[in-house]
């Protein structure tokens, strides 16, 4: 401990990012500076995570420090909402762990006017900055998922309620068959609608449409043919793309961020033991 204390330095955040890595291949940091009533306020975040990434418990750590002067009640609230909109929307392999932490520490050194519920403009500016850091770090975790070659946004729209939309999106995002199809660059929409069917999400199959980015491959539950499939397969050759499933059954929507499932993922977890 004395050695650790002696090594503390103002620019040591990169060392922290490196030190907490396990199967991560790159350190993960994100920062922002915002102005609160004419005073510069700084935020700096670091995270680790690569495998066993599935909320609400995942093998991930996130630490954010800020010199903002902000009330505990306000900070506690926006941390919780921010986690729900970022770290709780990612998955790499659908597996969980007993350990996860998101910790935000504010020391007030900026001496800005207090950020609290009574100062909504300042609270809004700080909230946006913190939530952007959360989202950035969460997507860095997905991008650095074990063996990952693709980052995929699974968007379910037109659902009756948020819970059903989330069930549908998470089941698709965690389906081994769907994720291996992503790896194989196979626009296999049957696997997607099959996962949706076992998710508990209410839908009418003859209303569903499925698109890969802007390429619609399924309309009213029916595939649109070879040309549409070829265009969709081209989309899957990209590093990042979005799968949109429109249920046409309501007005709610959600997004979940996932990866493909690769041979390297299997090799890493066949050889790696903590």
Where along the chain do its domains lie?
2-143, 151-271
pLDDT for 100 equals 86
For residues 64-86, one letter each, b for 16 or more C-beta atoms within 10 angstroms of the residue's C-beta and e for the rest, the string is: bbbbbbbbeebbeebbeebbeeb
- 146 is annotated as contributing to ligand binding: yes
Q: What pairing do the DSSP bridges indicate for beta strands 151-159 and 240-246?
A: parallel
Mean pLDDT, 10 residues at a time, the chain of 274 residues: 83 87 92 96 95 80 96 97 94 85 96 94 97 97 94 97 96 97 96 96 95 96 94 96 97 96 91 70
pLDDT for 213 equals 97
Other residues' Cβ atoms within 10 Å of the Cβ of residue 98: 8
The helix (run of H) or strand (run of E) holding residue 159 is strand 151-159
pLDDT for 195 equals 97
pLDDT for 8 equals 83
Which residues make Cβ contacts (< 8 Å) with residue 33, sequence separation at least 6? 40, 41, 42, 43
Specify the CATH superfamily of domain 151-271: ArgJ beta chain, C-terminal domain (3.10.20.340)
* DSSP-assigned letter for residue 149: -
pLDDT for 41 equals 98
- 48 is annotated as contributing to ligand binding: yes
Selected catalytic residue, list 59, 244, 259, 262: 59
In terms of pTM, does the model score above 0.85?
A: yes
pLDDT for 192 equals 97
- 59 is annotated as contributing to ligand binding: yes
CB of 28 closer than 8 Å to CB of 17: yes
Name residue, tokens 């946004």: 153
Q: CATH fold of 2-143, please?
A: 3.60.70
**Residue 259 is a catalytic residue:** no
β-bridge partners, 41: 34
Same fold, 2-143 and 151-271: no
């Amino acid at each position: 401990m004395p050695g650790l204390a002696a090594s503390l330095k103002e620019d040591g955040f990169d060392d922290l990012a490196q030190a907490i890595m396990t199967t991560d291949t790159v350190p993960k940091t994100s920062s922002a500076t915002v102005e609160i009533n004419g005073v510069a306020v700084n935020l700096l975040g670091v995270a680790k995570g690569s495998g066993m990434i599935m909320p609400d418990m995942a093998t991930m750590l996130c630490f954010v420090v800020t010199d903002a002067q902000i009330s505990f009640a306000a900070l506690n609230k926006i941390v919780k909402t921010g986690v729900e909109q970022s770290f709780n929307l990612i998955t790499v392999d659908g597996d969980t762990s007993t350990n996860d932490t998101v910790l935000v520490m504010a020391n007030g050194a900026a001496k800005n006017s207090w950020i609290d519920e009574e100062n909504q403009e300042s609270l809004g500016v700080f909230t946006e900055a913190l939530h952007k850091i959360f989202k950035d770090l969460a997507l860095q975790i997905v991008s650095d998922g074990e063996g990952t070659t693709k980052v995929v946004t699974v968007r379910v729209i037109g659902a009756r309620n948020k819970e059903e939309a989330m069930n549908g999106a998470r089941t698709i995002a965690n389906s081994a068959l769907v994720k291996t199809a992503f790896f194989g660059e196979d626009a296999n929409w049957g696997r997607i609608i099959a996962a949706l069917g076992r998710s508990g999400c209410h839908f009418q199959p003859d209303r569903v449409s499925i698109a890969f980015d802007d390429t619609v491959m399924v309309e009213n539950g029916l595939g649109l043919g070879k040309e549409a499939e070829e265009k969709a397969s081209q989309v899957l050759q990209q590093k990042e793309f979005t799968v949109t499933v429109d249920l046409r059954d309501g007005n709610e929507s959600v997004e979940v961020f996932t990866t493909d499932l690769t041979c390297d993922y299997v090799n890493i977890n066949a050889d790696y033991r903590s």
